[in-house]
Chains A and B, each alone.
Chain A
Amino acid sequence: MSTPAEEIKPLAKKKKKTPFNYSPYVRGGKLPHIWCPGCGHGIVLKCLLRAIHTTGLAKDDIAMVSGIGCSSRTPGYVDFNTLHTLHGRALAYATGLKLAKPRLKVIVTTGDGDALAIGGNHFIHACRRNMDMTILVYNNAVYGMTSGQASPTTPQGKISTTSRNGSIEPPFDTCTLAQAAGATFVARGTAYHFQELEKVIYEAIMHKGTSVVDIIDACPTYYGRFNKYKSPTEMMEKIEKEGTVSVKQADKLSPEELAGKLLRGVLHKSDRPEYCSEYQKLMTKVQAK
């Protein structure tokens, strides 16, 4: 990768040994979740809640917006201002909400199909505007909710119910797309590397501007079974552990060794005016006239 890359620094303070208390963040009576056994979405949720806790943000000041799909059911389980919208449109709702109430911290949970297929246009324009919001793409390379069709991130040759002989379409790289479209914080994590993921989500939330985290989080029920992984564990190890490499490790590897591996960590960070701040400046300017 030619982009300025940096390794995620561990959070400064050491965690106490007392177990993390998720209860304040989870809505009473709304669990168990709908996710399948072996699915990493629960791990992502855990990382997300821990990261939010570290930010110290009040629950009233957080809005969580989603579209349609497995990942988009996340807001229903958590005790924030939550909005479960239409397929692909989470970012459009989030944009309206954020501009209407800039003091809200807006976090969008979406999937690869939701964000990059039906919502692809909203995704690139959200990145371009650089409005302060965090976009978490739970990337499992299939449409899980509709039982395993190919998505814009299904690797070539992989089996799904709509590519039974192997997908012939090249996939999107969420991070490359986000960066090209103008996102000012772009990172990747996996459900397997959950401690790293928590840190990267924390950094994304703290970043002022549009932050995108591509979360490799394979689907055992459809993608895993169709593509002959023996168990969810084997699938996670093959795809998330062996299929990725941290940006720090990547420096030491040859191009041959890096072939076919996705980079983990913060892949891009830049400074660009944030939309709501710019709008505020515009208002001040026109009101002074």
Chain B
Amino acid sequence: MAGNKKKFMQGNEACTEGALYAGCRFYAGYPITPSTEVMEICGARLPKIGGSFIQMEDEIASICAIVGASLGGLKAMTATSGPGFSLMQEGLGFACMTEVPCVIVNVMRSGPSTGFPTGPSQSDVMQAKWGTHGDHPAIVLTPASVEELFHETVRAFNLSELYRTPVILLYDEIIGHMREAVTIPAPGEIEVVARRAPTGSPAEYKPYDAKGGDIAPLAAYGDGYRFHVTGLYHAADGFPTNNTQLIEEACIRLLRKIDDNKERIWKNEEYYLDDAEVGIFAYGVSAKSAKFAVRELRKKGIKAGLLRPLTMWPFPDRAVEELAGRVKAIIVPEMNMGQIVYEVERAAHGKCEVKGLFRVDTEPIKPVQIIECITGNGSKPSSPGSRMAEMMVERDMLDG
């Protein structure tokens, strides 16, 4: 298509390009490895296109600033990694509660605590769902290549604006720092969603009115609709309430607005799944290894296939259950000590065996590990009870 540009770029750069394509015009952040390039590129690019960029005093301030900017009417983003993501949790909950669109990028590094800042990990995948307190909705996207990162960043903004909720873009350090070719679509080539603005009179405007559907239009401050926003439980007009019925309704609506739309939010890649006898459920960089493993296993005559979620939350229950019904086992390789494997186990409903394959030495899970896990050579798959022993075996196998 005319206007398309093919460029060789880093994951974090593709994320920034995707954000700008999606209409992001505000960035607030705080430097942290391995996400800093997103911030640096935003700082260079945004002033050139009339957007705002500000370096805040910490990650708490960063997430608060993007929510403030979003209420001012701009599409807004911040990027961070584990320690910063932990600091952002309260602000994330505020954005969920007040239903203010924004995008939070978490380039996962090894933890807990400072951990190994330059080492990749996939250990925030549960935090992304459950990190902030209270029942809350979560949309979390897990891209697995640089080009996909561009597209998923655009989708993150679109979902955020559509459902009036923060969206988390979750990828590991390897995806963030590796370089791949990316074709930047021409403007207008892929859909960019703008938030629904109110059309009625300001006097009648209620920022949380669920009468016309679970997602009310959102006005921008300063545009004539003077409304109130609070992190307290609030009624349809935005003002605090201690009415127990309204509190219950508000909580349920927050969750329902995502749950009712999960089929539109779900996105999976299926790779050699049609005739698969063994399934692999993998995301991010682990899915890259899994694809290689699937091809190698097929050469050996083993019918393996990959189910790869691009939307991790809401969790793809249906796809997993369907897969579990027709394979003998699902292998879940992840760069943590077992997080998503439990979700897969839950969604499989006992229809097949679910085995985790974990690695936390900050090296990616190698295809050979997945192959050995399935063929039974070398190490045996991990069960939650014997993970530590399995880790040792896997290391020995790799070293050998």
Interface residues of A (CB under 8 A from B): 27, 30, 59-61, 63, 65, 75-76, 79-86, 89, 91-101, 103-104, 121-122, 125, 279, 282-283, 286-287
Contact = CB atoms under 8 A, between A and B. Distances in A.
6 contacts: A81-B226, A92-B64, A98-B68, A101-B73, A121-B57, A122-B57
B178 interface: no
B56 A95 contact: yes
B228 A92 contact: no
Contacts of B184: none
A85 B94 contact: yes
Given A76-B228, A85-B94, A283 B50 contact: yes
Interface in B360-387: none
The CB with the most chain A CB atoms within 10 A, among B52, B68, B221, B230, is that of B68
B47 A81 contact: no
The majority secondary structure among interface residues of chain B is mixed
Contact of A92 (B61, B70, B230): B61
B302 interface: no
B232 A84 contact: yes
A264 to B, nearest CB: 30
A97 B240 contact: no
A75 B228 CA distance: 8
Given A82-B229, A89-B64, A283-B47, A100 B57 contact: no
Interface in B257-312: none
A61 B221 CA distance: 8
A96 B73 contact: no
Contacts of A103: 222
Contacts of A92: 56, 60-62, 64-65, 68
A5 to B, nearest CB: 29
B26 A96 contact: yes
The CB with the most chain A CB atoms within 10 A, among B48, B228, B230, is that of B228
For this complex, into which size category does the number of interface residues on chain B fall? 35 or more
Nearest to A121: B57
A156 to B, nearest CB: 29
B61 A89 contact: yes
B187 interface: no
The majority secondary structure among interface residues of chain A is helix
A60 B64 contact: no
Contacts of A91: 61
Contacts of A93: 64-65, 67-68, 71
B47 A282 contact: yes
B226 A97 contact: no
A62 B245 CA distance: 33
Contacts of A282: 47
Nearest to A125: B57
A86 to B, nearest CB: 6
A104 B64 contact: no
A80 B67 contact: no
A19 B324 CA distance: 75
Nearest to B54: A99
B214 interface: no
Nearest to B229: A83
B226 A122 contact: no
A283 B61 CA distance: 23
Given A82-B228, A121-B57, A122-B61, A96 B221 contact: no
B73 A59 contact: no
A232 to B, nearest CB: 26
A101 B74 CA distance: 9
Contacts of B230: 76, 83-84
A96 B69 contact: yes
Contact of B71 (A59, A83, A99): A83
Contacts of B227: 81-82
Given A76-B240, A125-B57, A286-B48, A97 B68 contact: yes
Interface string B202-229: 0000000000000000001111101111
A286 B45 CA distance: 9
